[in-house]
Chain A
């Protein structure tokens, strides 16, 4: 699949005035050890604003661990995570979310017993009015409108009243992304968004990600190489917790070390 709409390799979206902003996400020497096992080893990287950054690597390379650190699920053993100039290392998940970092999960992690609309509405609600005890939740029209907009964006606009558990796998994966989107993030972490999808579903998801990428920075873990090569501006390759290579899709494809570690094109 040839990348047909990529900006200049390696250049982040500028703000149009020629100035280069500092990276939205930066990690310094991020290390995670579980007893004798080193899951992340001195990972230092920087993701510019507006970029789509892919993280690839064999199973166990540390990609999920990295996500867990950034989203506050795991406390790193050492190192720092800086988001938009602020040290967010070790903050709990709900605080991370409030800082405008959102995540979708590799294994679908939705509210199965709630409707599609409610899944997204509750995420949108987290930005405002969530401590009201006396007014009906439907009174907050702004929250519902935002939820509906997100549902339209992920292609589930006509399934509002459907129970989330009754959606197809592909639809659930889109709902997964929608929940994260509804929290109005600046950084969206997608954990294997196309997992378990058919070819057509994958294409639809790639298109979706392209559309939402215009306003955000995206960090994506993927195993599907076509998706990665087609979407990413920059790819970081992890192996045994270390950063083994970093560069544009073309550079990574040509990198012999990467081929040796992992890549099957």
Chain B
């Protein structure tokens, strides 16, 4: 193993160890905080596949997230006893269905038009969820109970805050490793080529549309998975998370953390939430003013984000 690869894996192991130990030593509030960062981090990573690796800006990831959330809710409310795996399945199917839609448009629209369309899409779902009160609970959302962690014949245990954190950590870690492998695979290299120079990628023989469709589907599925985790953690689904501003915030995580690094967006999410905590002490609910200013300044002066300097290293 090369030196830099060894360095990477050591760093990875250290961070993982910290995250495993975290719920055991942190007070409840901060424990939840870390778990939420992991979930939003997964959502941000899924977006990075599109923005950072393929060069497709999406302002609609809240739709995938929201449908993952409501899909899980659907499973947990309609099937007795509530089944964890079914919740994940329903959530992924829901997010996947939206992804098919978005994928179709991604091939016909470039740049800003794609960005606006994805934004409009997330709003369409927001309006539908918000107004279809009989099914989605409308403004108030849906509440449900947490399923147990059950593998038939092996184990069945209710989640404690600590074990739920470990479950989320496991899912996010596996997702990260999967996404990392995808971005370094021949497929992932084609995505990056599309980002660098789409017409040339076409000219050297790649059917760019097909690659974009697969990229959107993968991105949507991982985003939906994040939605499922969120539903599991918080035991409710609400339309607020489908509102287009949420999509915008995820883009903020990606940009602040560093696009095209996978870990950058997670760091960006952590950075954002930490800033929110910090500024809430002084600005109460107006924390978005200083956070927004910091974000805007970063876009101008630090466009590569916090971890952008790692981009070349991480993508060897």
In the complex they form, whether A and B have CB atoms below 8 Å apart is answered with yes
Residues of A within 8 A of B (CB): 71, 73, 92-94, 97-98, 102-103, 105, 109-114, 118, 121-123, 125-127, 129-137, 140, 143, 179-180, 182-183
B193 sits at the interface (CB 8 A): yes
Contact partners of B208 in chain A: CB under 8 A: 94
Q: Is the CB of A132 within 8 A of B187?
A: yes
Q: Is the CB of B181 within 8 A of A134?
A: yes
A170 to chain B, nearest CB (A): 19
> What sequence of 0s and 1s flags, for each residue 164-196 of chain B, a beta carbon within 8 Å of any chain A beta carbon?
000000000000000001101111111011001
What are the 5 closest A-B residue pairs judged by CB atoms, nearest first?
A97-B205, A126-B205, A111-B196, A123-B204, A132-B186
Contact partners of A180 in chain B: CB under 8 A: 204
Q: Is the CB of B185 within 8 A of A135?
A: yes
Given contacts A94-B207, A114-B193, contact A130 B186 (CB under 8 A): yes
B313 sits at the interface (CB 8 A): no
A141 to chain B, nearest CB (A): 13
Q: Is the CB of A94 within 8 A of B206?
A: yes
Tell me, in angstroms, the Cα distance from A199 to B206 when the chains sit together: 35
Q: Is the CB of A132 within 8 A of B200?
A: no
Given contacts A112-B196, A122-B190, A130-B190, contact A136 B185 (CB under 8 A): yes
27 contacts between A and B (CB under 8 A): A93-B199, A93-B203, A94-B202, A94-B208, A97-B205, A109-B197, A111-B197, A114-B196, A122-B204, A123-B204, A125-B186, A126-B205, A130-B206, A132-B185, A132-B186, A133-B182, A133-B188, A134-B181, A134-B182, A134-B185, A135-B186, A137-B185, A137-B189, A179-B200, A179-B204, A183-B204, A183-B205
Given contacts A93-B203, A94-B203, 13 further A-B contacts (CB under 8 A): A94-B208, A110-B197, A110-B200, A122-B189, A130-B190, A131-B186, A131-B187, A132-B185, A133-B185, A134-B181, A135-B185, A136-B185, A143-B186
> What sequence of 0s and 1s flags, for each residue 243-282 of chain B, a beta carbon within 8 Å of any chain A beta carbon?
0000000000000000000000000000000000000000
Tell me, in angstroms, the Cα distance from A180 to B187 when the chains sit together: 20
Contact partners of B201 in chain A: CB under 8 A: 122
Residue of A nearest to B180 (CB): A136
Residue of B nearest to A104 (CB): B203
A69 to chain B, nearest CB (A): 14
| Dominant SS among interface residues on chain B | helix
| Dominant SS among interface residues on chain A | loop
B88 to chain A, nearest CB (A): 21
Given contacts A122-B189, A133-B187, contact A71 B203 (CB under 8 A): yes
B218 to chain A, nearest CB (A): 9
Contact partners of B192 in chain A: CB under 8 A: 114
Contact partners of A103 in chain B: CB under 8 A: 203
A89 to chain B, nearest CB (A): 17
Tell me, in angstroms, the Cα distance from A232 to B203 when the chains sit together: 25
Given contacts A102-B204, A122-B204, A183-B205, contact A109 B199 (CB under 8 A): yes
Contact partners of A134 in chain B: CB under 8 A: 181-182, 185
Contact partners of B188 in chain A: CB under 8 A: 133, 137
Tell me, in angstroms, the Cα distance from A121 to B204 when the chains sit together: 11
Given contacts A129-B186, A137-B184, A137-B189, contact A113 B196 (CB under 8 A): yes
Residue of B nearest to A164 (CB): B196
Interface centre among A92, A93, A97, A180 (most CB of B within 10 A): A93
Residue of A nearest to B199 (CB): A109
Tell me, in angstroms, the Cα distance from A114 to B208 when the chains sit together: 18
B24 to chain A, nearest CB (A): 34
Q: Is the CB of A137 within 8 A of B186?
A: yes
Contact partners of B207 in chain A: CB under 8 A: 94
Q: Is the CB of B202 within 8 A of A93?
A: yes
Q: Is the CB of A126 within 8 A of B184?
A: no
Contact partners of B187 in chain A: CB under 8 A: 130-133
